[in-house]
Chain A
Amino acid sequence: MSSSVLLPLAEVTPLPGSTYIIPALFLLFVATTVAGALVAVASQRIIRSVCGLALCCLGIAGLYYFLNSPFLALMELLIYVGAVCVTIIFAVMLAEPEEPAPTAKRGFAWLAVGATAVVTGAIFWSLARLGVCGEWPALAVNQSSGSVETIGVQLLTTYSFAFEAISLVLFVAILGAIAIARTGRHNA
């Protein structure tokens, strides 16, 4: 057997710098999320904004992996990057929603930008301060593994009503989307 030749894991000295790889990946995902969100909001062309949303969702998928949930990371990539962003791009192609150039300069335009920035900045500051300095309970000892198997069992037992309800919501949403998008065709 070739495995008997291998050293036990504890005796192998770690590669130089290998302790930095995981924190560097974490910081990379955080930077991806922040940059994607900023591009999604600040970009003038709407197609770049969609690309920013896809970038943001990519970073969030990586953060889900760090939060012990590879399943949700995969779902984030599938649903947001694969479905939501592509659907928004279809709407962009159908409705050409270019952001209009700012209309004639008015005196309070910068005041509106400043007021929005101040309010959202205050919300960010207070929530971030709550997250950093808040009185959070002690770190929990996990009782179950949180694996995909556990999720599936709980979805079909404890949360079966919510599961059925969301399937109904999706069904009604699909029917409504078809109905709304079809009726406009005669008026075109």
Chain B
Amino acid sequence: MKPFLDSVLQLHTQPAPYLVLAAFLLAVGLYGLVRRRTLVGMLISGELLFAAASLNFMAVNRFFAPDPAVGQIFVLFIMGLAAAEVAIALSIVIAIYRNYGSIKSRELNELKR
């Protein structure tokens, strides 16, 4: 019991929990991207994928990179790209809703309507 407790207490100084959590976020995001039936739901799952990539970059940057500023700059760029992606995707969603009256991905099977 004692060594287990010690290992739990040292968990935040190890790279493994961060990497496992990033893998979990990636898997959950992929699952949602496949299973969601609306465009906004798929967009939210995509944000989870971005979060997984950012967390992975930060974990590797903190534990294995010699210069800790590089990973932070990279994650800043990822955040900027995610913000641009959300702006574009939501405007597309609203345009689709105006044209089709629905954003369920099952009903968007025609190019023009």
Contacts and interface: CB of A to CB of B under 8 A. Distances in A.
Interface of A: 19-20, 22-23, 26-27, 30, 33-34, 37-38, 40-41, 46, 49-50, 52-53, 56-57, 60, 63-64, 66-69, 71-72, 75-76, 79-80, 83-84, 87-88, 90-92, 94-95, 97-100, 103, 113, 116-117, 119-121, 123-124, 127-128, 130-132, 136-137, 139-146, 150-151, 154-155, 159, 162, 166, 169-170, 173-174, 176-178, 180-181, 183-185, 187-188
- Max chain B Cβ within 10 angstroms of own Cβ: one of A40, A99, A176: A40
A31 B32 CA distance: 19
B58 A170 contact: no
Contact of B40 (A23, A83, A97): A97
Among B65, B73, B104, which residue has the most Cβ atoms of chain A within 10 A? B73
A157 B2 CA distance: 49
Interface residue SS majority, chain A: helix
Contacts of B38: 46, 97-100
B34 to A, nearest CB: 5
A118 to B, nearest CB: 10
Contacts of B29: 37, 41
B68 A154 contact: no
A60 to B, nearest CB: 6
Contacts of B43: 88
Interface of B: 8-12, 15-32, 34-41, 43-45, 47-48, 51, 54-55, 58-59, 61-70, 72-73, 75-77, 79-88, 90-95, 97-99, 103-104, 106
Nearest to A117: B31
A142 B12 contact: no
B26 A124 contact: yes
Contacts of B86: 84, 87-88
